[in-house]
Structure 1
């Protein structure tokens, strides 16, 4: 049974987040939308952006989430380039939200429930700097909010180990390829989604139930 378990684990690892995705059009880069009037934008990275983007999109006040890359030093990166870990970019989710409905602080708290912020450069079967936990701030208030939440998470011992999330100033966001956008909802038959992403989203729903959109509170 142990060998069988390792066999299936290796298959999931091989499939990984976005491994082997091809197809004309699907590999075209998605557009980066401008925030609507009154909207604010937040950017977080916590492992594969398939589950992170889905989780954050289910929150009240969030209008859209775009999967992409940030935190590195390569212009216009592609998934293939980011996967080489030479760009220093991480897989991230850019969130467009109404601050009158959900605050940046609430989004940040949700971010820490949507992944394990205590594992350095790793989330589940995904390992590497492109899967690191990283939170971007756009002003001093957001930086203070992130640092305060990290202290709170550490003090409550919600996780056994301390938070290792990078807190860095936002510089630029690059949208990922079209096929990454909304991937969780359209590829439920993907073994990675059912075995890795779905359990994370279900755990998130349980933790953040009061702040979810009605259709996800069931």
Structure 2
């Protein structure tokens, strides 16, 4: 029985993850009207999900015009998601980042380019070995203009690479800030094995691809 239990748990887990995106509660989120986040002190906010938020946070914070990147959860239907609950695949949420940026320095369109240019665009429900609906790729829009930018770039990329781009396109609803220990994780834990073997290589690949976008301090 001890040998069977992990198999049963894994089966249930992946079952939950695979259905998290298609139930009626999730569909209501996908069909909702987007919420517009107003400028604050001249800074705008954008929201992206692209695998582990430790990786994505560090990538965006290396970009000129980005003031801060905050790790959290978005795209789901449950309130007050936690790291533990989102990992069950039953909340509908994905690990996401809130990007606080100066629109006079970097545009939303460029942030979308950063998004596509820093991930495996064909991988469904994950990035690398981080797999499950909580690691799926989602780009969130707050208005029709942003939605059009996302869809045009997604279509152009699919045509250019002759692949199906996995990223989902959602109306932004709400961003839930993750637990304190997740924030600035790469900077605060540079010797962590995951950071050394996954996050830093992913960041370096991005920097090599977009050197013109990188802050001098990086």
Tell me the matched-pair count. 181
Partner of 1:194: 196
Q: Distance in 2 between matches of 1:130 and 1:35?
A: 28
Residue pair 1:46, 1:117 contacting (<8 A) in 2 also = no
Residue 162 of structure 1 and its aligned partner are, at CA, apart by 1.9
In structure 1, the residue matched to 2:34 is none
Q: Is the 8 A contact 1:65 1:96 kept in 2?
A: yes
- The answer on 1:106 being equivalent to 2:110 is yes
- For residues 213 and 156 of structure 2, the distance between their equivalents in structure 1, rounded to whole angstroms, comes to 19
State the shift of 1:35 in Å: 5.6
User: Over the residues paired in the alignment, what is the CA RMSD in angstroms?
Assistant: 1.2
Equivalent in 182, 185, 193 of residue 183 of structure 1: 185
2:116 partner SS? helix
The equivalent of 2:159 in structure 1 is 155
| 8 A Cα contact 1:67 1:94, kept in partner | yes
Q: In 1, Cα distance between the equivalents of 2:209 and 2:151?
A: 21
Do the aligned residues in 2 keep the contact of 1:46 with 1:116 (CA within 8 Å)? Answer: no
2:144 to 140, 144, 165: 140
1:213 equivalenced with 2:215 (yes/no): yes
For 2:99 and 2:39, the matched residues in 1 are separated by: 10
Q: Please state how far the C-alpha of 1:212 moved relative to its aligned partner.
A: 1.0
Aligned match of 2:94: 90
Aligned pairs for 1:162-173 within 5 A: 162-173=164-175
SS in 2 for 1:215: coil
Alpha-carbon distance in 2 for matches of 1:187, 1:176: 17
Other-structure match for 1:203: 205
Q: Give the TM-score normalised by the residue count of structure 2.
A: 0.80
Q: Is the 8 A contact 1:35 1:96 kept in 2?
A: no
CA deviation profile, 1:132-171 (whole Å, cap 9, x unmatched): 00000000000000001111211221xx632110001000
Deviations 1:103-134 (A, max 9, x none): 00000000111211210002111110000000
The normalised TM-score by structure 1 is 0.80
Measure, in 2, the Cα distance between the counterparts of 1:46 and 1:106. 16
Write the distance in 2 (CA, Å) between the matches of 1:62 and 1:101.
Answer: 8
Q: Structure 1, unaligned stretches of length 5 or more?
A: 1-33
Residues 43 and 74 from structure 1, CA distance in 2 versus in 1: closer, same or farther, beyond 3 angstroms?
A: same
Number of the residue aligned with 1:12: none
Off by >2 Å, runs of 4+ in structure 1 = none
**In structure 2, do the counterparts of structure 1 residues 188 and 35 end up closer, same or farther at CA, with 3 Å as the change threshold?**
farther
